[in-house]
Amino acid sequence: MPYQRPQADTLAARLREPRRFMQIVAGPRQVGKTTLVQQVVEASGLPAHFASADEPTLRGPQWISQQWDTARLAAKDADEHGAVLGSAPLLIAQGLSESLAGRFEVLHLTHWSFTEMQAAFDWSLDDYLLYGGYPGAAPLIHEPKRWARYIRDSLIETSISRDVLLLTRVDKPALLRRLFDLACRYSGQILSYTKMLGQLQDAGNTTTSAHYLDLLAGAGMVCGLQKYASDTTRQRGSSPKLQVLNTALLTAQSGLTPQQAHEDRELWGRLVESAVGAHLVNAAADGSCTVHYWRERNQEVDFVVKAGRRLTAIEVKSARAPQVHRGTAAFSAAFKPQRSLLVGGDGIALDDFLGKPVAHWTET
């Protein structure tokens, strides 16, 4: 039997509730949306109507409404249950707001975590850092070149071409693709939009780059973290910290073999930090927290997690480091976070941090 994700219990509970809600299961490509819903429905025995929103040229708001009506007819006198699956957040968001206002709930599925890949495939921490959280690609890791081609062709290209370019107006598709490559290459680094345009050799404006980065984040690929500040305006005007949402994207784009990646200390350090960042950002997908970075002059904190009124400052090291970090100390003096954590080095073991929900570290 395929590995069953923890979200199965949540979805099963929702389907059993006597409410007339369409259940929307959304998330990046190949994270197990269809498998999850099939497992839950088969186990529950409840009437259900399956529909996939994964063909953007054929789907639209009217189609989503039609699926809801079909689900209601199939249920007849029973509670009405429907499930729409999609990796295209732009389409789903538009369809929901236009045709299902007040009649839907969304269950967000993120990239697979370290504990999930370990449970399903017996992966080591190094496996997870190198190959990330794509279960469909897991059988290919013993053929690294084939694995990288699969990630590039079946995941990266398909996500960009079908989940972004076909669903919204993109005047410079080549720029968007180069921006994705840049975000993978510089994951874990703070880069101003002006410097990005210089790297991309484009004379466009910073607003366009910021918009394209948001589109790529919506597709579950890469994002730009904002600087933490008490003033929201200062946050929005900050240079972004680039972050892949799955380390497989970084590795597949690097062109290096696993051995070369291990031997490249700089790359390995970025894989470690990117894995921590992805763990945090994926946890924030349900709106329970927000993830930022902080920097003033030469003092920096890798990640700042805000959950309600609680602040957690997180510094990541791939080698031994002092427990008291200058950036963390400066941030603590300015903002009084409830917790300050060192992950890696002489702090919390990386596998321990990745092996627990983010709430474990930010709410206790």
Q: Is the pLDDT of residue 35 over 90?
A: no
Instruction: Look at residues 55, 79, 108 and tell me which one is the last residue of a structural domain.
Output: 108
Does residue 1 belong to any structural domain of this protein? no
Does residue 2 belong to any structural domain of this protein? no
Instruction: Look at residues 84, 108, 132 and tell me which one is the last residue of a structural domain.
Output: 108
- Domain harbouring 90, CATH code: 3.40.50.300
Enumerate helices (H) and strands (E) in the chain, giving the number of each.
18, 10
Please tell me the total count of domains within the chain.
2
The answer to whether residues 177 and 76 belong to one domain is: no
Q: Which helix (H) or strand (E) holds 66?
A: helix 61-75
Query: Confidence class of residue 198 from pLDDT cuts 50, 70 and 90?
Result: confident
Q: Is the pLDDT of residue 349 over 90?
A: yes
**pLDDT per position as a tens digit, 140-152:** 999 999 999 999 9
The answer to whether residues 129 and 212 belong to one domain is: yes
Domain containing 70: what range? 7-108
The answer to whether residues 304 and 263 belong to one domain is: yes
Q: Is 236 exposed, middle or buried (0-12, 13-18, 19+ CB in 10 A)?
A: exposed
Q: Give the percent of the chain with pLDDT over 70.
A: 83
The answer to whether residues 219 and 315 belong to one domain is: yes
C-alpha span between 229 and 12 (Å, rounded) = 39
The answer to whether residues 155 and 103 belong to one domain is: no
Rounded to the nearest integer, the mean pLDDT of the chain is 85
Does residue 188 belong to any structural domain of this protein? yes
C-alpha span between 14 and 21 (Å, rounded) = 9
The answer to whether residues 152 and 64 belong to one domain is: no
**pLDDT per position as a tens digit, 175-192:** 999 999 999 999 999 998
pLDDT, average across residues 102-126:
89
**pLDDT per position as a tens digit, 56-99:** 555 666 776 777 777 777 666 556 556 666 665 555 555 565 65
Does residue 318 belong to any structural domain of this protein? yes
Q: Is the pLDDT of residue 226 over 80?
A: yes
Structure-model confidence comparison of residues 103 and 281, the more confident one: 281
The answer to whether residues 104 and 246 belong to one domain is: no
Instruction: Look at residues 76, 108, 140 and tell me which one is the last residue of a structural domain.
Output: 108
User: With contact defined as beta carbons under 8 Å apart, do 350 and 344 qualify?
Assistant: yes
Does residue 247 belong to any structural domain of this protein? yes
The answer to whether residues 97 and 120 belong to one domain is: no
188 φ, ψ (degrees, to nearest 5): 95, 0
The answer to whether residues 140 and 51 belong to one domain is: no
Structure-model confidence comparison of residues 285 and 90, the more confident one: 285
- Closest by CA to 15, choosing from 73, 94, 69, 78, is 78
- Closest by CA to 131, choosing from 256, 277, 252, 223, is 252
Does residue 353 belong to any structural domain of this protein? yes
The answer to whether residues 166 and 297 belong to one domain is: yes
- First-to-last CA distance in the chain? 35
Query: In 231-297, which residue ranges form alpha helices assigned H by DSSP?
Result: 232-236, 247-254, 258-263, 265-283
Does residue 74 belong to any structural domain of this protein? yes
